[in-house]
Structure 1
Amino acid sequence: MSSTQIEIQLIAAVVAVACALPGVFLVLRRMALMSDAISHTVLLGIVLSFFAVQSLHSPWLILGAAAMGVFTVALVELLNHTGLVKQDAAIGLVFPALFSIAVILISRFARGVHLDVDAVLLGELAFAPFDRMTLLGFDLPKALVVMSVILGLNVLFITLFYKELKLATFDAGLAATLGFSPLLLHYALMSLVSITAVGAFDAVGSILVVALMVTPAAAAYLLTDDLRRMLGLSALIAVVSAVGGYWLARGLNANIAGSMATVTGGVFVLVLLFAPERGLVALVRRRTRQALEFAQAMLTIHLLQHEDRPEAHEENRMDHLVEEIRWQPRFAERVVRHAERTGKLLRRHDRLVLTEDGRQYARQAMIH
């Protein structure tokens, strides 16, 4: 493996973690669409800052982009607070308008400048290692240095304000009562999202920024209820998706950012299907088990009510149960087998007889 390939994967991993960490709070706050809005509208901040300083390498571009991200959030919330439109509609109104203004400005006044809309959307990680800078005597990819600094800022912010972020995310009212400022934390978080988005533009493009901010966090949310674990799992899923996406792109000779987004989506689908508690497979199994438990309770209650009565010989026959309780024969057989396995009844020829455990179970079911 060449040094360029290693650097590409390293840049991708750093970008992935930098995006995934603030993405956790966006997902928990039900603001996933806001990452899409910010990752597009910061382009307008970059364009306006470029017009002001006439340099693509000025730090004012990042500051301008961050300011535009905060402006986007403020504008969305202003529309939302009018009560005339909901938040998702407000986002749909604001970010296409601001992004389209940026596109018009680029196409009209910056044609000779390297502010390419396609590069902003898709990025090209393959070229990131060739844009280099010297830091402390080391020759490093510029994207790696920039995103490492942004990752450090994100980690520092989350570490310093972890309790405040947690409280403001889950109960903003209580946070305000305790003297915290949920609004200030909110805009600080949105500023970090904006800075992260603009920092990742050159390397991965806005599409992958959205994917890395939302998808790993959403997958981690399905795996745990603990915020610390969610942050760790989100970062891990993001790194796995980034590295896996690189090798997928290499195998298919495809765009790296697009491949990473695809792998990220694939990981989410796997988690959605097979998450231990919240996955679809676990959900189907749980509902099937609950249906069997409920049917078993109905069966034992039915047998108990007719036990030691003249009609018991007729009522506890298998074919009569199908007709009486209106179960399908296959389902009735499953319920009876389940009750046999759990020791609730015995099958004697064509009759079903409750065990003592089955009688106790039926009595408890009738009480509850």
Structure 2
Amino acid sequence: MNTFWIILTGALVAASCGFLGCFLILRRMAMLGDAISHSILPGIVIAFLLSGSRDILPMLIGAAVVGLLTVFIVQLLSQNGVKADAAIGVTFTALFSVGVVLVSLYTAQVDLDLDCVLYGEIAYVPWDTWQWGGIDMGPRAAWGIGGVFLLSLLLVGLFFKQFKLCSFDPALAAAIGIPVVFFHYLLMTLVSFTTVAAFESVGAILVVAMLVVPSATAYLLTEKLHVMLFISMGVGVLCSVFGYLLASWMDSSIAGSMTAVSGLLFLLAFLFSPRHGMVIRMLARRRMRLGTN
């Protein structure tokens, strides 16, 4: 059962991050997901200090507030002469540094340290369980990321056309009356929720890979958004299963092995994608040259 819960939690983390990462990739905002995943740290710490609890709800609220603040600051800087990449770099490093300082100052006596924040440890997931009515309901991390994943699926499913049009042509979406700004901040809120729910299992650094790599892999394999969403979730599940097997074989970090597998899958897609694969395009050009000769 421990193996099952570890793989399930990893699959939920990778699939939920990859699902939302598709929209970040299409909006060319992949690094904003990186910024949010780091900058929400002070929100998590402040939520803990105010509530005195590591329950998922106050953490989600704190992360959402700081995540939206990150997006607002980045856009404010970008609209006032600062390059977009520089705005992202300045914002997330500043906020993440504030979070590191708060962790080192105020959480020395609790299980909220920098190793947990940066690297996580998915192997401990089965022992941190949720009790309801005296019944062991299973790992708290699996329930947290699973609930956030269902929320993302529900909201994107209800407003799929709006999210799709805002991602591909925001000017057209605004022209026909779709509140582009609202859906932009709604997406960023979901990214913040997903990031903090994944914190305990994969940490701040590795969740960045899950936000980008599965969706980037799916982007190379299809040109249809709904197919891209399913492929990104499938890649996430494969990363969890084969990453755990690799970690067991090598006796190494589970979360790190999952991310390494995701990188390998991206490399395979980059080389052998039917439309965009580098090897496939080289073979096609070679056949064209042979045909002309």
TM range (shorter): over 0.9
**Residue in 1 that maps onto 2:100:** 103
Distance in 1 of aligned mates of 2:234 and 2:57: 30
Q: 1:58 to 1:24 in 2, by over 3 A?
A: closer
Distance in 1 of aligned mates of 2:208 and 2:113: 19
Q: Does 1:18 align with 2:16?
A: yes
Distance in 2 of aligned mates of 1:209 and 1:4: 22
Distance in 1 of aligned mates of 2:213 and 2:140: 26
**Residue in 2 that maps onto 1:80:** 78
**Residue in 1 that maps onto 2:196:** 198
SS for the counterpart of 1:183 is helix
| Aligned amino acid, residue 103 of structure 1 | V
CA contact 1:218–1:268 (8 Å) conserved in 2: yes
More displaced stretch, 106-115 vs 69-78:
106-115
Distance apart, 1:132 and its partner CA: 0.5
Distance in 2 of aligned mates of 1:140 and 1:91: 37
Distance in 2 of aligned mates of 1:227 and 1:56: 36
SS for the counterpart of 2:130 is strand
Distance in 1 of aligned mates of 2:47 and 2:205: 22
**Residue in 2 that maps onto 1:361:** none
TM-score, normalised on structure 2? 0.96
Distance apart, 1:208 and its partner CA: 2.2
SS for the counterpart of 1:59 is helix
Distance in 1 of aligned mates of 2:174 and 2:252: 49
CA contact 2:56–2:144 (8 Å) conserved in 1: no
- Unaligned stretches of 5+ in structure 1? 297-334, 336-368
Q: 1:117 to 1:278 in 2, by over 3 A?
A: same
Distance in 2 of aligned mates of 1:50 and 1:74: 23
**Residue in 2 that maps onto 1:142:** 140
Distance apart, 1:266 and its partner CA: 0.6
Q: Which one of 107, 121, 124 corresponds to residue 121 of structure 2?
A: 124
**Residue in 2 that maps onto 1:179:** 177
Distance in 2 of aligned mates of 1:108 and 1:147: 28
Distance in 2 of aligned mates of 1:135 and 1:266: 40
Q: Alignment identity in percent?
A: 44
**Residue in 2 that maps onto 1:91:** 88
CA contact 1:121–1:205 (8 Å) conserved in 2: yes
Distance in 2 of aligned mates of 1:58 and 1:178: 38
Distance apart, 1:287 and its partner CA: 2.4
- Residue by residue over 1:338-363, the C-alpha shift from the partner in whole angstroms, topping out at 9 and shown as x without a partner, is xxxxxxxxxxxxxxxxxxxxxxxxxx
Distance in 2 of aligned mates of 1:119 and 1:248: 22
- Residue by residue over 1:289-330, the C-alpha shift from the partner in whole angstroms, topping out at 9 and shown as x without a partner, is 34445xx2xxxxxxxxxxxxxxxxxxxxxxxxxxxxxxxxxx
CA contact 2:107–2:113 (8 Å) conserved in 1: no
- Residue by residue over 1:92-113, the C-alpha shift from the partner in whole angstroms, topping out at 9 and shown as x without a partner, is 1110110011101111222112
Distance in 2 of aligned mates of 1:234 and 1:121: 24
Task: Give the 5 Å matches for 1:233-312.
Answer: 233-293=231-291, 296=292
Q: Does 1:151 align with 2:149?
A: yes
TM-score, normalised on structure 1? 0.77
Q: CA RMSD in A?
A: 1.3
Distance apart, 1:134 and its partner CA: 2.9
Q: Which has the larger radius of gyration?
A: 1
SS for the counterpart of 2:137 is strand
- Residue by residue over 1:45-99, the C-alpha shift from the partner in whole angstroms, topping out at 9 and shown as x without a partner, is 01111222222226222101111011101111111111x2221111111101100
**Residue in 1 that maps onto 2:164:** 166
**Residue in 1 that maps onto 2:110:** 113
CA contact 1:208–1:260 (8 Å) conserved in 2: no
| Aligned amino acid, residue 282 of structure 1 | I
CA contact 1:42–1:65 (8 Å) conserved in 2: yes
| Aligned amino acid, residue 285 of structure 1 | L
**Residue in 1 that maps onto 2:210:** 212
